[in-house]
Amino acid sequence: MQRLYEEVKRNDIQILENWHVLDLIHKDGICYGLIAFNKDHNKIKAFFSRIVILATGPAGHIYSNTTNSTNCTGDGVAIAYRAGAYLKDMEFVQFHPTSLIGSNILITERARSAGAYLFNKNGERFMTEYAPFSLELAPRDIVSRSIINEINDGFGLKDSKYDDYIELSFTHLSDSVLNEKLSDVKDMASSLLNIDIKKTPLKIIPAQHYMMGGILINVNCETSIQNLYSAGECSCLSVHGANRLGGNSLIECLVFGKIAGEQISHYDKNTKVDINSIDFDKYIGRPAEHYIEDVENLLNNIDLEYVSNSCTKLQSLMTSNVGILRTNELLNKALSELSIIKTQLLSNSSNNPNNFEYSVFHYFELLNMLDVAEAIVSSSLLREESRGSHFRLDFPLRNDKDWLSHVLVQLSNSNLKTSLEPVIINDIFPDSRTY
Ligand SMILES: Cc1cc2nc3c(=O)[nH]c(=O)nc-3n(C[C@H](O)[C@H](O)[C@H](O)COP(=O)(O)OP(=O)(O)OC[C@H]3O[C@@H](n4cnc5c(N)ncnc54)[C@H](O)[C@@H]3O)c2cc1C
């Protein structure tokens, strides 16, 4: 971060803090800037620009159990989608097998590679059944599914406050392993939970961790909208396929962040956009003052308690119906319930006098979360097979014959449209997965 900060200073780059991007200014597949909301003053402003790079990060907050922070609401993905950009691989949502119940703090894979075991309520090391060779070190999707299977089959342990869980046990490990390899886990358990992991196992469940899908980009970080680029977790070049390997996600930030920067460096930063020559109304589809008026009216008529309850509804729906195990029935139900949540949210206009002004942007975040959720559900419904992190109980096998394709999602005439794009394999063909 220090290096980044130095570069920002050296290049005299202006940072605008507390501006929340709402939408892109665009017309006929070309991006001309963005509209943002100032969280301190509740004001909306249009920013015209030759280039926009969306690097808004993950969308994990659409699930109740996630290792992501609460601001991971998929804004960039939803913003690009509403402007007509293609989204790709949205059905591939990674769940990390070991997060603490309650807080969803991630317990590093290092714990299992140092020798920690997973136990069910009978004290059985159940991974021997699901992945006899790799055991606890099988890929994230397999360990997560195994844990959920154990819990669903009644082999989870009961907690008085939270849902059933599985134990991650370190009690058989030597002091030197705990101190040399897992001192951070040991310290965290001791300070946060008042637990000595040498004596007491951790209570864990899987939690949403990473989105393999996102805004479709090419190797130059260009999206399907002219002048709109993307990098980081909100983008998707499919570098991770259907299932990211641990430790690899920073490719999207470091490698593609650099590429995006290089790509746009040929634009002369001294040539300012002539704002007066741009007809703002044309690019947002209605007169500018109406847009701003509408949003300001909206801000005065939001019941944030209602927004918060709708958000919780969305999160539990996504967790129960669009999580680790999916079926046609669950996904269809999710799709219709999402539509109800959205319709009710858009028509709700009861002001709550207890609103805390600063947090009205949660309304916009929720609308983004609903768009992202809809894209995930629609892609998951279309992919009638199981691959990587996407597991369909009604289509449990991988089907390379019919499904070596990416699912693309696009908003077209106000409707979500899905399409398929073949996976191009030049080198290594997919093999069977045995662990
Ligand atoms: C617990 C945990 C552990 C991880 N460990 C690893 C690891 O060991 N190795 C690895 O490779 N990866 C790891 N990852 C994944 C990796 O951290 C993320 O993929 C990566 O940080 C995403 O970076 P990003 O820049 O795309 O998004 P972020 O770092 O989330 O940055 C996005 C930025 O955009 C801003 N933003 C969002 N919406 C808006 C809006 N509407 N308007 C204005 N600004 C907005 C946000 O405030 C934020 O500052 C881990 C993730 C988690 C959650």
List where CATH 3.50.50.60 sits in the chain: 19-92+212-422
Question: Looking up tokens 């009961």, which residue turns up?
Answer: 158
20 in ligand 1 pocket by Cβ < 6 Å?
yes
Nearest CA owner, ligand 1 atom 30: 57
Nearest CA owner, ligand 1 atom 37: 56
351 in ligand 1 pocket by Cβ < 6 Å?
no
Distance CA 248, CA 208 (A): 16
pLDDT of residue 419: 98
How remote is the CA of residue 6 from the centroid of ligand 1, in Å?
A: 20
- The full DSSP string for 313-360 is HHHHHHHHHSSSSB-HHHHHHHHHHHHHHHHHHHH-----TT--GGGG
Instruction: Classify domain 96-209 by CATH number.
Output: 3.90.700.10
ipTM for the predicted complex comes to: 0.98
pLDDT of residue 128: 98
**Which element (helix H / strand E) includes 367?**
helix 361-382
pLDDT of residue 45: 83
- As its CATH architecture, domain 19-92+212-422 has 3-Layer(bba) Sandwich (3.50)
The token pair at 51 is 């280039």
How remote is the CA of residue 57 from the centroid of ligand 1, in Å?
A: 5
Question: Looking up tokens 């402003």, which residue turns up?
Answer: 45
Nearest CA owner, ligand 1 atom 46: 56
pLDDT of residue 330: 98
253 in ligand 1 pocket by Cβ < 6 Å?
yes
Distance CA 403, CA 421 (A): 10
Residues of the chain under the 50 pLDDT cut: none
21 in ligand 1 pocket by Cβ < 6 Å?
yes
Q: Tell me the sheet residues that pair with 53.
A: 229
223 in ligand 1 pocket by Cβ < 6 Å?
no
pLDDT of residue 246: 84
User: Are the beta carbons of 84 and 223 closer than 8 angstroms?
Assistant: no
Distance CA 296, CA 289 (A): 10
* Pairing of the two strands 43-48 and 166-169: unpaired
pLDDT digits (tens, 9 = 90+) for 187-200: 999 999 999 999 99
pLDDT digits (tens, 9 = 90+) for 318-340: 999 999 999 999 999 999 999 99
Helix (H, G, I), strand (E, B) or coil at 270: coil
Nearest CA owner, ligand 1 atom 28: 57
What are phi and psi for residue 19, nearest 5 degrees?
-100, 130
Radius of gyration of the chain (CA): 23
User: Are the beta carbons of 88 and 77 closer than 8 angstroms?
Assistant: no
How remote is the CA of residue 428 from the centroid of ligand 1, in Å?
A: 30
Residue 50 buriedness (CB in 10 A; 0-12 / 13-18 / 19+):
middle
How remote is the CA of residue 14 from the centroid of ligand 1, in Å?
A: 21
**Residues annotated catalytic, as ranges:** 140
CA of 231, closest atom in ligand 1: 26
How remote is the CA of residue 61 from the centroid of ligand 1, in Å?
A: 12
238 in ligand 1 pocket by Cβ < 6 Å?
no
| Residue 396 C-beta-side C-alpha neighbours within 13 Å | 4
User: Are the beta carbons of 338 and 374 closer than 8 angstroms?
Assistant: yes
The token pair at 360 is 């009205």
Nearest CA owner, ligand 1 atom 53: 68
Residue 162 buriedness (CB in 10 A; 0-12 / 13-18 / 19+):
middle
List where CATH 3.90.700.10 sits in the chain: 96-209
Helix (H, G, I), strand (E, B) or coil at 427: coil
How remote is the CA of residue 179 from the centroid of ligand 1, in Å?
A: 29
pLDDT of residue 358: 62
CA of 73, closest atom in ligand 1: 38
- The full DSSP string for 128-175 is HHH-TTTGGGS-HHHHHHHHHHHHHTT-SBP-SSSS-BEEEE-TTS-H
Q: How far is CA 119 from CA 49, 67, 165, 251, in A?
A: 55, 22, 10, 34
Nearest CA owner, ligand 1 atom 27: 57
Pocket-testing residue among 92, 211, 250, 258, ligand 1, by greatest number of atoms within 8 A of Cβ = 250
pLDDT of residue 283: 54
Q: How far is CA 397 from CA 99, 149, 258, 428, in A?
A: 27, 17, 38, 20
Nearest CA owner, ligand 1 atom 29: 57
55 in ligand 1 pocket by Cβ < 6 Å?
yes
How remote is the CA of residue 395 from the centroid of ligand 1, in Å?
A: 32
Sign of CA dihedral 175, 155, 152, 165: negative
CA of 36, closest atom in ligand 1: 42
